[in-house]
Amino acid sequence: MTDLAMRVAPARSEALRRAAPALLGYAAVRALGLLALALWSAARDKDAYTLLTARWDALWYARVAELGYGYEVRLPNGDVHSNLAFFPLLPWLERLVAQVSPLSYADGGFVVSVLASLAAAWGIFAVAEHVYGRRVGVCAVLLWAVLPVGIVQSMAYSESLFTALAAWSLYALLTGRWLTAGTLALLAGLTRPVGLAVVAAVWAAGIASFVRERSARQAPGADLAAHAPGATARRVLGMLLAPLGAAGYVLWVGHRTDKGPLGYLDVQAGWRNGFDGGYAFARFVGEKFTSFPSALAGVGLIVGVGLVVWLYVVCVRQRQPLPLLVYAGVVTALALCASSYFGSKPRLLLPAFALLLPLARSLAGLRTHRSALVVGAVAVASAVYGAFWLNGSGPP
């Protein structure tokens, strides 16, 4: 074993030891959610595992893993649902699991999501600990676990995988590991369209770093030898790597559909997905006020959107690092301003974990027993809501 390997192994062991409380707490919350889902599903004569692995998008991912791309469904209204809308990294991993084990593609999706959710929790802890300290890191992970739509973290969906890649890419940026950040951003771009948020964070951090270096060089008495060419080369390479995943898949879809670089937008349009600046969502909310019962839902939606915007403003006021602000801002904008299925918007916001850091700081300021009571109560509510939600008729 080399000296480098001997130094890296203890460092990783120490990092895991520091993250252990957060990971154990996360696993406990997720176990509670799965228990609630199992009990609720049994009461409704449904199979909880099927709900996690073989409904809605999970079916599309498993079909891509098994048969590849080219499958589509034509609806009576003329819409065309093509599996080209689903980015390939999760199906690739599902296929890998199925090839090296007796598990099915759906089973593979569940295994990947469970492992990725733990990696995401660790990445969130690493980011929050680096910025605010260990206690805030633990609280950030627990808050991410108890989100009302936290059950998605255990589904054969791509949210957990994407969040893991995004969190560790952001951590790499915060610690100056440009090649790692760019590579993880590339993989995030192969996971979901919102991979653009990770790319934006890498580029924003890179540009800001160049600006700082230029200012430092121009300062009186600057040490020009301190700016190593190798560091600059790694930064540039990381920035160049970052967009290759998303760009590569989008261009491939355009080539496959013979519609050029914008072919992927046509595929999304078949699902009635697009970016309209939030007009369709605002109209959807406005329609809730046409009758009294639905008006309560309209008020709830407005309060929810207001809370998200307020959290982002607090993040800015607390001067979070630029990569986190850019990443959270892009994820939030894409989620709220897309003309997609409106019931999925809470799920689309799931990767925006940086929005939870102000709440994590407040929670960390409480005494341990009080913060435990708060997290415990919210975890129970989240578990019950997740079980109710996943047993419903509409996709999450």
Lowest mean pLDDT of 27-31, 145-149, 344-348, 354-358, name the range: 344-348
pLDDT the model gives residue 76: 87
Extended strands (E) in 199-325 = none
221 pLDDT band, cuts 50/70/90, is low
Is the pLDDT at 296 greater than 60, yes or no?
Answer: yes
Residues 126/168, Cβ–Cβ less than 8 Å: yes
222 pLDDT band, cuts 50/70/90, is low
Amino acid at 23: L
Residues 89/158, Cβ–Cβ less than 8 Å: yes
Mean pLDDT, residues 314-331 taken together: 97
Lowest mean pLDDT of 2-16, 113-127, 187-201, name the range: 2-16
Mean pLDDT, residues 94-116 taken together: 96
Mean pLDDT, residues 142-168 taken together: 96
Q: What is the DSSP string of 151-213?
A: GGGGSSSSHHHHHHHHHHHHHHHHTT-HHHHHHHHHHHHTT-TTHHHHHHHHHHHHHHHHHHH
pLDDT in tens, 176-186: 999 999 999 99
N-terminal to C-terminal alpha carbon distance within the chain: 48
Is the pLDDT at 225 greater than 60, yes or no?
Answer: no
SS3 338: strand
Distance CA 318, CA 347 (A): 25
Residues 111/155, Cβ–Cβ less than 8 Å: no
Structural tokens at position 151: 């059950």
Q: How do the residues of the chain divide into helix, strand and coil, expressed in percent and rounded to 5?
A: 75, 0, 20
pLDDT the model gives residue 272: 84
The model's pTM is 0.93
Distance CA 235, CA 48 (A): 45
How confident is the prediction for the chain on average, in pLDDT? Answer: 90
Distance CA 157, CA 352 (A): 16
CA atoms within 13 A on the CB side of 1: 8
pLDDT in tens, 234-251: 999 999 999 999 999 999
pLDDT the model gives residue 7: 47
223 pLDDT band, cuts 50/70/90, is low
Distance CA 155, CA 109 (A): 8
Distance CA 53, CA 21 (A): 28
Distance CA 249, CA 332 (A): 23
Mean pLDDT, residues 286-294 taken together: 80
pLDDT the model gives residue 275: 81
SS3 265: helix
Mean pLDDT, residues 53-82 taken together: 91
Distance CA 40, CA 161 (A): 26
Distance CA 318, CA 89 (A): 35
More confident residue, 129 or 287: 129
More confident residue, 258 or 27: 27
Is the pLDDT at 129 greater than 50, yes or no?
Answer: yes
